[in-house]
């Protein structure tokens, strides 16, 4: 007779018991993710640096600058830090409930495997720039480092930061030629051909996301300290992270942003590598700064949660479902084999589409909250992770 040795799933934390800061951060982070991802769906025009289309109207050029300086390369590090923070929280909850450490790690590894599956399906059907698979890999690394000291986490974060600057700096230093240099499926009119090319594009995605490892390690370090779980006792850390990280991200991203908006034309490989590496490194600081700023806001809000805060937090609690919802909407509206609006909209207009999509997801998540229902993707993932074999 053999049965699965996993314990029954812990009951979901009720809305009144949930800590505000992580959920609020995830909910707001989804708006940045929508802005970052939507620009990849624009096609039918020459492409510039970082795969942004070449804009000509002043409004679109300014929006491009804002997007690159404040969102591009800043949203996913924030996502990674919050993902790692959540992994630590799940691990601690299992341990506090009396689950053996070995068993808790087994469950987290299973969760990571299913994230890889979710990521592959997401990339295959909708979005080759999927991040779920990357976070599945990160999850395995975090489990392996569960006993590592805080010093080890910080040292490894420093090593990965150097690697991110070298690798992502080189990956994004390619001079603008007018043609796409990656994610070719976004301009492919044949849906079958796009479907077959997306898996390969997805496999290459980690090359452009090396920096998420830094954010994940620092997110783990912050989770051990309870920086977002107990922001009142970590105000100094959060203030420094926000008030240093965010200006640093803006200043470090500005050269690339001005180049994308064609307010400045960088020349030479060294210049392109330098601004790309700078954009990557400071983007990690920006992602952590955003999370810290939201932690400070959550501390100010306290128990005074109005309808807007509750709705955004509900989307953060259901971030996996909301993330996938964005891709469904973007494909339906923007892809060349659907409505094809990606060939017509500019950077400013697609930003409005992105924010509108995020707003709809927030409203839907709030309806689920009112009904006492988890997100559909969260339900499926939880069922798969905590599956139990029948006796034989």
Q: Is residue 34 part of a domain?
A: yes
Q: Is residue 203 part of a domain?
A: yes
Tens of pLDDT, residue by residue over 160-206, are 999 999 988 787 766 666 778 788 899 999 999 999 999 999 998 88
Q: Is residue 226 part of a domain?
A: yes
**Alpha helices per DSSP H over 17-57:** 20-38
Residue with tokens 């996993």: 6
Higher per-residue pLDDT: 199 or 16: 199
Q: Is residue 217 part of a domain?
A: yes
Residue ranges making up the domain that contains 314:
20-41+53-175+198-334+351-385
Q: Is residue 2 part of a domain?
A: no
Helix, strand or coil, per DSSP, at residue 178: strand
Task: Calculate the average pLDDT of the chain.
Answer: 89
pLDDT of residue 269: 81
How many alpha carbons lie under 13 Å from residue 87 in its C-beta half-sphere?
34
pLDDT of residue 5: 43
Count of domains forming the chain: 1
- 3-state SS, one letter per residue, for 367-389: HHHHCCCCCHHHHHHHHHHCCCC
Confidence tier at 94 by pLDDT (50, 70, 90): confident
CB 279 within 8 A of CB 256: yes
Q: Is residue 187 part of a domain?
A: no
Q: Is residue 296 part of a domain?
A: yes
Q: Is 376 exposed, middle or buried (0-12, 13-18, 19+ CB in 10 A)?
A: middle
Tens of pLDDT, residue by residue over 330-372, are 999 999 999 999 999 999 999 999 999 999 999 999 999 999 9
């Amino acid at each position: 007779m053999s049965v699965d040795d996993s314990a029954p799933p812990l009951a979901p934390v009720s809305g009144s018991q949930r800590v505000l800061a992580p959920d609020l951060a995830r909910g707001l982070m989804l708006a940045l993710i929508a802005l970052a991802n939507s620009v990849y769906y624009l096609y039918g025009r020459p492409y510039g640096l970082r795969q942004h289309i070449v804009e000509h109207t002043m409004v679109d050029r300014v929006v491009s600058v804002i997007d690159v300086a404040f969102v591009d390369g800043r949203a996913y590090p924030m996502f990674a830090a919050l993902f790692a923070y959540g992994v630590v929280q799940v691990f601690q909850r299992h341990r506090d409930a009396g689950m053996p450490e070995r068993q808790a790690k087994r469950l987290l590894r299973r969760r990571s495997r299913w994230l890889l599956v979710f990521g592959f399906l997401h990339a295959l059907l909708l979005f080759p720039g999927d991040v779920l698979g990357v976070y599945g890999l990160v999850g395995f690394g975090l489990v392996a480092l569960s006993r590592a000291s805080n010093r080890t986490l910080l040292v490894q974060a420093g090593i990965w930061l150097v690697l991110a600057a070298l690798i992502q700096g080189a990956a994004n230093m390619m001079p603008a030629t007018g043609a796409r240099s990656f994610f070719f499926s976004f301009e492919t009119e044949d849906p079958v051909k796009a479907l077959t090319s997306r898996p390969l594009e997805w496999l290459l995605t980690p090359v452009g996301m090396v920096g998420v490892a830094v954010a994940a390690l620092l997110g783990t370090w912050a989770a051990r300290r309870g920086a977002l779980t107990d922001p009142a006792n970590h105000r100094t850390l959060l203030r420094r992270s926000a008030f240093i990280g965010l200006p640093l991200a803006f200043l470090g991203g500005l050269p690339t942003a001005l180049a994308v908006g064609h307010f400045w034309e960088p020349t030479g490989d060294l210049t392109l590598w330098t601004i790309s590496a700078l954009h990557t490194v400071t983007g990690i600081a920006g992602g952590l700064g955003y999370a810290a700023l939201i932690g400070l806001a959550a501390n100010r809000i306290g128990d005074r949660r109005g309808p807007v805060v509750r709705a955004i937090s509900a989307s953060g609690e259901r971030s996996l479902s909301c993330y996938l919802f964005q891709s469904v909407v973007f494909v339906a509206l923007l892809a060349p084999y659907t409505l094809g609006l990606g060939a017509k909209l500019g950077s400013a207009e697609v930003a409005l589409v992105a924010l509108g999509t995020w707003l709809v997801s927030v409203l839907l998540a709030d309806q689920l909250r009112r009904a006492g229902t988890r997100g559909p993707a969260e339900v499926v993932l939880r069922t798969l992770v905590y599956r139990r074999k029948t006796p034989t």
